[in-house]
Amino acid sequence: MRRCATLIALLLTVAASEAAAQVSLYGVLGVGYVGRPSGVRSRSLGSSLDAVDRESALNPAAVGDIARLTVAAASITSFRNYTVRTGTVEDLRDTRFPYALIAGVIPGTPITFAANYSIYAERSFDLVTLDTLELRGDTVFVADETSSIGAVADIRGAIGWELFSGFVVGGAVHILTGSTQDRLTRAYSDSLYTPLSHESNVSYSGFGFSAGLLYARSRKLRFGLAFRSDNSLDAVRDSIPARQTDLPMSVSGGVEYRPVPRVMFSTTVAWTSWSDAAADVAVAGTNAFDTWSFGVGAELNRGGKVPVRLGFRYAQMPFSNTPDQPREMDLALGVGFRAAGGRALFDVGMERAMRDGGGASERAWQLSLGILVLP
Amino acid sequence: MTRRRSRTLVRTCLWLALSLVVMWSCREDVTAPGSCPEFCPTRLVREIDTIFAGSIVNDSAYTGYVPAYGAAWMEVVTGGSVPDSRSLIRYISFADTIEGREILSLDSFQVDLRVRSVSDPSVGLELLIYRLPVTVDTTTTFADTEPWFQDSLLVATIAVPDTIGTDSTVSAVLPLSAFPDFVADSLTVAVGVGMRGVSGGEGYAHLGTRDGGRPSLFSSWLTVVDTVPLVLDSAELDTLDLSQIPADSMVIDTIQVMDARQPDMDTYVFAGWSPPAAEALLVGSAPAWRSLLRVDLPIYVTDSSDISRATLYLVPSEPVPGAPGDTLRLRADALAADIGAKSPLLALPDTSVRGAAGVLVGSTDTVAIEVTHILKSLRVDTLLPASIMLRIIPEGGQSGQLRFWSSRNTAFAPSLHVTFIPLFPRPEPQ
């Protein structure tokens, strides 16, 4: 338990720096860099377990897999570099706290519940651009720094109901909330122009629901299917309505297969209609595309002690300022540890993320740390 | 047992390594160059650059702020120029003793002038010192001085050296005959200072004043009685009967000392200017004029935009009158309150809130003065009046005057050129 407490302290330390995190260069576009509702275990499997994973926030029916009170949290640290045209930026580093869960069983009923926190869209970035303006007949160089710190969080309340053995249906409501601290500064090469600084607070709100089912045909094979729809993301800047972005609906499905007890394979496929937001983001010259994502993974459990996980994920990203739709590929590797007599589970994952398209190429190492406690 | 130990050691090392990685990764490093247009959130920032005609309203000009005798400078301009400025200085009276010593004789006089700035001295300039009646005072007019600035009353000429710098002192020693009525005038002296171009060139000089903390000085060289202790050399010690000489014996001697006086009045007079056009506003000259301009910009500029640059344009109604070659330093100040002529200037510790511009005498070019910080202050403190006070610095120190068309002249009215970024609608990075 002492090690458990140590890791929780470390996670809290990391969480404290979450506010300044930046996930991806692509967070500049659209509603931001769209988050993954995956726990660390599923991330290590290329998010292939999301459709049937009790820790992931994709399928509310997967909550039915919860057998007792469960608390989980995770942190992710990224080490990134990216290339835009011929310019390369290296050694970017950030840490965030993208996931938390509390779940349990309503005593005496076949109903389970879960409350999740996950990142819906990450909007943290700090970009410096240089440009020239024609002002009063002269060319004036300007240096702009645009920063946004914050994210849109997805707070999910879900219940699962085991209708009959092996068949669980679930439903969830999603409250989208969050805020960003935006700052724009502009400095001029001509000292006759005074530097500018805009600061504002943008708050976001939205609402959605999801439904799903989980079917365990046997101990070897489980299926998950989920549907989600969100209405719109309303942004209010300094108490003044700023914009509204239609949010997509999504359909996802996945399979978990255990040919032998120590080996598990999983896959999840999801489609999201991000083109619903096209008209709203087009104001800024941004294109929105529907997205497909696909993940496969395998978990090898040597004697049930330290499972080793491998995963691959391919996902399209929804926003681009060019006609080219960006996409992401992730290679993942992870392990899990048990502690405190099985009452605490620690998951560690390392991902290699490769994002390309839309005029940029981004590479990142992502270290995920997760803890799940069964009090 | 050994195997168990080694597993424990491995686990401990793994936890330690994990902890170190987590602690190390807590450092954030997220600032990065963007790239336009692909990843450029500021590409939608609209920088608007517009001249707002009719943005200055209800403008007025007032005078009487600083008279010539209260200015930090005095002006002298070469005779024959327009204007012909002359400085008038009356010094504090001398006493008939100096530090209790008897004055044996008055030997000579010396006048020291502090030259704050001067036009190009290479044309050959001379400062001319005239003897003035001690009745000269602050009410003396240029016409009153005409009989005094004659060659017959010229007492000294000081050549302005080519190497003269700013805030320099030039001096002249005058004989006693320069002021024959010195005693009759109760040991009081008044001088006038003019300027002459040796080869007919024109020029000007700004002289320091009592109010500017750089007064001229008028000194008299005197021979006075002095006493010193008796000192005997060895030969005298051998020959004198020391018992006959008291221990505290003194001997009487004479020494030459200087007694200096500051002005009790220093001012300058000039011929004056022709009347301005009916629709013109005035700034500068002496007594000093100020012009009060009220700003009438759209509220979306003053309240809902970030102003990066604001320039006030003034169109002279005539060539700027003043000393040939001189430059007037125009200053724009914000006001703490707009109560007309007596509006208090905004006393901010940051002097950058004031705009400044140089106005060349004789020019008819449009005067541009930066007022960015004044307009920016309006959004910071919404209680501040949207007004600008124009004045020439130092006030009352130069005869020159900027005359520009007021808002009544719709064709050449003052205008504001503003570069700004609207805050609303805000650019949304999406």
Which element (helix H / strand E) includes B77? strand B73-77
Number of neighbouring beta carbons within 10 Å of residue A130: 12
pLDDT score of B32: 65
Q: CB A242 to CB B426 under 8 A?
A: yes
Q: CB A284 to CB B35 under 8 A?
A: no
Split at pLDDT 50, 70, 90, the class of B348 is: low
Split at pLDDT 50, 70, 90, the class of B244 is: low
Q: How far is B12 from chain A (nearest CA, A)?
A: 10
Low-confidence ranges of chain A (pLDDT < 70): 1-23, 86, 303-304
In whole angstroms, give the CA distance from residue B26 to residue A226: 35
Q: Which of A18-32, A133-147, B48-62, B332-346 has the lowest mean pLDDT?
A: A18-32
Higher pLDDT, A252 or B15: A252
pLDDT score of B84: 84
pTM score, whole prediction: 0.73
Above 90 in pLDDT, residue B254? no
Nearest CB among B30, B33, B425 relative to A87 is that of B33
User: Considering chain B, what is the average pLDDT of its residues?
Assistant: 86
Amino acid identity at B329 = R
CB burial readout A5-29, b (16+ within 10 A) else e: eebeebbeebbebbebbbbbbbbbb
Nearest CB among A84, A131, A148 relative to B429 is that of A148
pLDDT score of A11: 39
What chain A residue is nearest to B420 in terms of C-alpha separation?
A196
Closest alpha carbon to A149 in A176, A120, A122, A177: A122
pLDDT score of A342: 79
Q: CB B306 to CB A28 under 8 A?
A: no
Q: Which of A36-50, B1-15, B79-93 has the lowest mean pLDDT?
A: B1-15
User: Positive or negative CA dihedral for A59, A62, A68, A71?
Assistant: negative
pLDDT score of A3: 47
Nearest CB among B15, B47, B428 relative to A284 is that of B428
Instruction: Sort out which chain A residues have CB atoms less than 8 A from B19's CB and list them.
Output: 6, 10
Digit-coded pLDDT (tens) for B265-289? 999 999 888 999 999 999 999 999 9
Which residues are bridge partners to B229 per DSSP? B250
Taking residues B289-296, what's their average pLDDT? 96
Digit-coded pLDDT (tens) for B146-192? 999 999 999 999 999 888 888 899 999 999 999 999 989 999 999 99
The complex's ipTM works out to 0.74
Higher pLDDT, A90 or B92: B92
